[in-house]
Every structure is written in structure tokens, then in C-alpha cells.
Amino acid sequence: MFEKIAAAPADPILGLTEEFKADTRAEKINLGVGIYKDESGNTPVLATVKKAEAVLLENETTKSYLAIPGTPEYGLAVQKLLFGADAPVIADKRAQTAQAPGGTGALRLAAEFIKRQLGEVKVWVSNPTWANHNGVFAAAGLEVAQYSYYNAETKDMDFDAMLADLQTANAGDVVLLHGCCHNPTGIDPDAGQWQQLAALVKEKGLLPLFDFAYQGFAKGVEEDAAGLRIFAESCSELLVASSFSKNFGLYNERVGAFTLVGQSAEQAATAFSQVKSIARVIYSNPPAHGAAVVTVILNDATLRAEWEQEVADMRVRIQAMRELFVATLKEEGVDSDFSFIERQNGMFSFSGLTKEQVNQLKEEFGVYIVGSGRISVAGMTRSNMGPLCKGIAAVLK
């Protein structure tokens, strides 16, 4: 039976990691997948995660199933992180959260909820967007439309084009927004632009869905929620898919959350009952460990402060790499202006390198970046910067 099956294409991001691992060259550099590396090129377990794990090891009494949405403590901790500890949506019980297996699991819950409960609506994603967005929404049977986001000439956001495209959306359509550290461009709306977007979404009766995977990597844990909080003030209904892979370094624990905000506590609870039914038939109930770690850290004032410092350290190192990257490219004789990289947020930079240049970097220099030209700055170190920039200078000639 299987002889009729054709091979699936490799994943543009995770497939690249497999290729990288198989590469036997000692000097290879992986700037594909968004994984934080420290100055030695390692992805260590955060110190606060180790401390929380010690607490759990000591106190855990059972491995019994969690409830379908995970624990209420986790749900509340996630909501406080998203909306602020004193947010009215929390006090009014208009938010409901389900722990999900990673950010992707949360997005898939969102997609299934939209498809099954909201009818024939489109999901609008930015052009460009994270490579897996299209796949996740298509897998749930949703139609995906694109809104303009990036201007390749100015290497900046094309905000007017974004607004113009969203003006053509129909009431009920879903707009996917990146909470911060837009993946892949690293370019986020400013406060005024968030306000305008929220006004447009409200006026047109669209449903905002935030993909929030990098909270803390742009300006700070609280600061990075500014856009979402503007929306939470003006839109009575919204959805959020959170990931804690990056800001807690819990990549392989698959810790995420799907949060639904309704017009009233009652409507939110009813809608959320459908989310539970969806989770039940996909993965039944979530894995416990990673979410328990996040809960311990967020609910302990000392650990929380230490964690915020760890996130700040990651953020500051990445920013330093952005600056060093731009300076080293100059030293290597690259004439084109790459200073836009210093203005972008988060792990990624949209370099403007072509598919051919990306391929040449891999073949000739062992430098792995995503085909779109997206570079994970989080994988740069002081020691790989020289060879990396030499390679880029060579392919730009």
C-alpha cells in the first residue's frame, strides 16, 4: 500500500536542522531555527528552570492526568503575563486558558476552534510570516489570505499597505498578529500603529489572533505585551497562542497556551467548552512538566525576578550580536547598508539575501539560514561572527 506514497517536502526550518546535523564540516554554523545560543554556542537550561525543577522533584506527589485545559494555576499565570496582573479581562473572568503542546499546538487549537465554531472565515496572515502558519491553518481546513507587511526596498514595515489590505477583510475574518518580534522580519508596529490596528479590527468586526512566542525578547516582558494589551482594551473578543519555548528555554518540553477572551464570563466559558472538546480529540490532555515549571517560576516573586533577568540577558546578547554583525560586515568590505538589522527585534533578521545566496552560503561556507533569507541572530557568537561575515561578503560579491 505504501508504494503509492510520495515523499513530503522537508520542513523549511526544522528540515534545515536535520541537514545541518548531517553536515560533517567542523566550521558549520546553524542560523536557521530560532533557538537561543549563549556565547559558547550552547542552549543551556535556564537557572530558574533548574530551581523550579528541584522544587517539583521534591513536591510532586502524582503523575495522574491533568484536566483537559491543564491546571487553573497555569492558566492564571499565563493570563497575568499576557494582560497584566490587574487586567479587567482577568478580574471579569472573560479570559479562559488551555495549556497546549507548544506554540504550534496552541495555534492548532485556535485554528480548529475557528474552523468548527466561526464558520467560513478567512485567516489573514502577514506577508511574510512564520513558515508554519500557512500549514497549521490549512491543516484545519481554513482559507489563508495575506496582508502586506514588509517593504523589501525600505527594509521596513509597509504599514499603509497593511491597513489597506485589512480594509478588504470581511467581518468575522481572523487577523493573525505577531505579539512582538515579528517572525521572520523582526519589525513590530509601534504603539501608535497598534492603536490604529486595534481601531481598524474593531471597526471592521475582525477577530484578532495573537501569536505570542517571543515575549521579553524585544524590550521587556511587560513592555512587549503593549500591543496585545491595547487590543484587549478595545476588542471584546480575541484569541492568543502563547509559546514558552524561547523565553523559558523550554523548547523540548512543548509548553504553550491557547487563551480565549469573550465578551462576558458566560460567553467565554461556553466557547471554551468547545476548545476542551477539540483538545480531547487531538491530544486528550497536556503534558505536565513544562507548564509546572512555568507556574512555579511565575508564582514565586524571587524566581520571577531572576527569570526576567535571564530573559534580559538573552535579549541584550542578541542585540549585541546585531551590532557586531553589522560592524563585521562593514569590516569585511560589504558596501550595502545592513544597519536595519540593528533596529529589528527578537531572534530574527530578514537579511534580504536571495535563495541562491542562501544556497551558496550553505554549500560553500557551511552557513545554514532559512531559504527566505531569515537569519537567526540568536545563533551568532563572537567566535562564529568572522567566518559568517566572510561567507556573506563572498556571496554578495
- Closer residue to ligand LMR, CB minimum distance, 165 or 224: 224
For position 358 contacting ligand LMR by CB under 6 A, the verdict is: no
> How near is the Cβ of 358 to ligand LMR at its closest, in Å?
15
> How near is the Cβ of 371 to ligand LMR at its closest, in Å?
13
For position 373 contacting ligand LMR by CB under 6 A, the verdict is: no
Burial (CB count within 10 angstroms: exposed 0-12, middle 13-18, buried 19+), residue 316: exposed
> How near is the Cβ of 130 to ligand LMR at its closest, in Å?
5
CA distance 295 to 71: 9
CB hemisphere CA count around 369 (13 angstroms): 30
> Is 130 tagged catalytic?
yes
CA distance 358 to 372: 8
For position 185 contacting ligand LMR by CB under 6 A, the verdict is: no
> Is 115 tagged catalytic?
no
- Closer residue to ligand LMR, CB minimum distance, 14 or 164: 14
Q: What values do phi and psi take at 210, rounded to 5? A: -95, 130
Amino acid present at 55: V
> How near is the Cβ of 389 to ligand LMR at its closest, in Å?
22
Cβ–Cβ < 8 Å for 74, 291 = yes
CA distance 142 to 57: 42
CB hemisphere CA count around 43 (13 angstroms): 16
Number of residues interacting with ligand LMR: please give it, by CB under 6 A.
6
> How near is the Cβ of 236 to ligand LMR at its closest, in Å?
30
Cell of 227: 500591543
Identify the residue among 79, 97, 132, 372 touching ligand LMR (CB under 6 A). Answer: 132
Considering just the CA atoms, what is the radius of gyration of the chain in Å? 21
Q: What values do phi and psi take at 97, rounded to 5? A: -125, 135
Residues 1-60 that bind ligand LMR (CB under 6 A): 13, 33-34
Amino acid present at 369: I
Cβ–Cβ < 8 Å for 238, 210 = yes
- Closer residue to ligand LMR, CB minimum distance, 79 or 132: 132
For position 210 contacting ligand LMR by CB under 6 A, the verdict is: no
Q: Which of 130, 155, 158, 173 is catalytic?
A: 130
> Is 28 tagged catalytic?
no
> How near is the Cβ of 258 to ligand LMR at its closest, in Å?
16
- Closer residue to ligand LMR, CB minimum distance, 71 or 127: 127
Outline where 142-211 has alpha helix (H).
159-167, 191-204
Cell of 239: 484569541
> How near is the Cβ of 101 to ligand LMR at its closest, in Å?
12
CA distance 320 to 337: 18
For position 130 contacting ligand LMR by CB under 6 A, the verdict is: yes
For position 106 contacting ligand LMR by CB under 6 A, the verdict is: no
For position 379 contacting ligand LMR by CB under 6 A, the verdict is: no
Residues 303-342 that bind ligand LMR (CB under 6 A): none
Residue from 390, 381, 395, 375 nearest 330 by CA: 390
Cβ–Cβ < 8 Å for 394, 365 = yes
Identify the residue among 129, 183, 242, 344 touching ligand LMR (CB under 6 A). Answer: 183
For position 179 contacting ligand LMR by CB under 6 A, the verdict is: no
For position 126 contacting ligand LMR by CB under 6 A, the verdict is: no
Catalytic residues: 130, 211, 246
Q: What residue ranges bind ligand LMR (CB under 6 A)?
A: 13, 33-34, 130, 132, 183
